[in-house]
Amino acid sequence: MIQFYFNAAPNPMKVALLLEELGLPYQAVPVDTRKGEQFAPAFLAVNPNGKVPALVDGDAVVFDSNAILLYLADKAGRFVPAIADSAARGSMLSWLMFVASGIGPFSGQAVHFRHAAPQPKEYALNRYDYEAHRHWKLIEDRLAANRFMLGDEYGIVDMAVWGWARLVPYVLGGETPWAQYPGVKRLLDEVSARPAAQRAEKLKTAHTFKTETDDEARRFMFPQNERLKRA
């Protein structure tokens, strides 16, 4: 059976969505990052980068959420263009990697500097807020012309976008972020209404994760700050 290492963050949740869409049996293995469980030797043997999600499928070990999406979809032959369809495949890979290298990192940094970083942070927040908006605007423009990211077919790129779209108000701040991104909101609502998405959302409440951002949590979530204490 597949072992799926996860928490309730955007990247694990998009993998949970695909697992539910495919109807694959899996064992959900919670990893509480506020308690430092991502640095346990047993988990580092699965993902040496110490991040969730990660997946063990027999002899296959896969980490990074977008790699897992592609691995599972290719294996099942669903929610992804066939390798032989080079045009559709190229578009899928481009947008999937765009989410991996742009939407996720810049949204994550916008969250950090908006909600967690100490002052002064004006320069850093301005940079990452700008880049997060710039990346989400590209998604918005794509969805203004297409029902789904690749056209009329729902697939793993939409799942990758859904994982982060659920947090757009938290990522971007402001009183009415959805007014700027109605296409993203439309996609979010359509995917969230799917039974598989509702099952995936229940997964995050099936396990109790630490929610307090206390000194212990900060030490595990922001280990770079330990260097400042030694400076």
Asked whether residue 149 falls in the same domain as residue 178, the answer is yes
Task: Report d(CA 161, CA 186) in Å as an integer.
Answer: 12
The CATH number of the domain where 136 resides is what? 1.20.1050.10
pLDDT exceeds 70 at position 150: yes
pLDDT exceeds 70 at position 116: yes
Asked whether residue 169 falls in the same domain as residue 210, the answer is no
Task: Report d(CA 107, CA 191) in Å as an integer.
Answer: 20
Asked whether residue 216 falls in the same domain as residue 132, the answer is no
**What's the Cα-to-Cα distance from 68 to each of 61, 89, 150, rounded to whole Å?**
9, 16, 19
Asked whether residue 222 falls in the same domain as residue 143, the answer is no
Task: Report d(CA 220, CA 138) in Å as an integer.
Answer: 33
Asked whether residue 132 falls in the same domain as residue 216, the answer is no
CB 31 within 8 A of CB 38: yes
Asked whether residue 225 falls in the same domain as residue 185, the answer is no
Asked whether residue 210 falls in the same domain as residue 180, the answer is no
The position carrying tokens 């640095």 is 39
pLDDT exceeds 90 at position 129: yes
Q: How confident is the model at residue 76 (pLDDT cuts 50, 70, 90)?
A: very high
Q: Which structure tokens are listed for 169?
A: 């108000």
Q: How confident is the model at residue 231 (pLDDT cuts 50, 70, 90)?
A: low
Asked whether residue 93 falls in the same domain as residue 124, the answer is yes
pLDDT for 229: 79
What's the total number of domains in the chain? 2
pLDDT for 214: 87
| Amino acid (one-letter) located at 156 | I
pLDDT for 35: 96
Asked whether residue 178 falls in the same domain as residue 152, the answer is yes
Asked whether residue 207 falls in the same domain as residue 189, the answer is no
Asked whether residue 92 falls in the same domain as residue 188, the answer is yes
Task: Report d(CA 31, CA 51) in Å as an integer.
Answer: 9
Asked whether residue 185 falls in the same domain as residue 133, the answer is yes
The torsion angles phi and psi of 60, rounded to 5 degrees, stand at -90, 130
Pairing state between β 2-6 and 60-63: unpaired
CB 27 within 8 A of CB 58: no
The CATH number of the domain where 224 resides is what? 3.40.30.10
pLDDT exceeds 90 at position 74: yes
Task: Report d(CA 132, CA 107) in Å as an integer.
Answer: 5
pTM: 0.95
Rg of the chain over CA atoms, in angstroms?
18
3-class SS letters over 105-162: HHHHHHHHHHHHCCCCCHHHHHHHHHHHHHHHHHHHHHHHHCCECCECCCCHHHHHHH
Task: Report d(CA 57, CA 66) in Å as an integer.
Answer: 16
Considering the chain, what is the average pLDDT of its residues? Answer: 95
Domain containing residue 146: 86-193
Task: Show Cβ contacts of residue 81 under 8 Å, excluding neighbours closer than 6 positions.
Answer: 88, 89, 91, 92, 150, 155
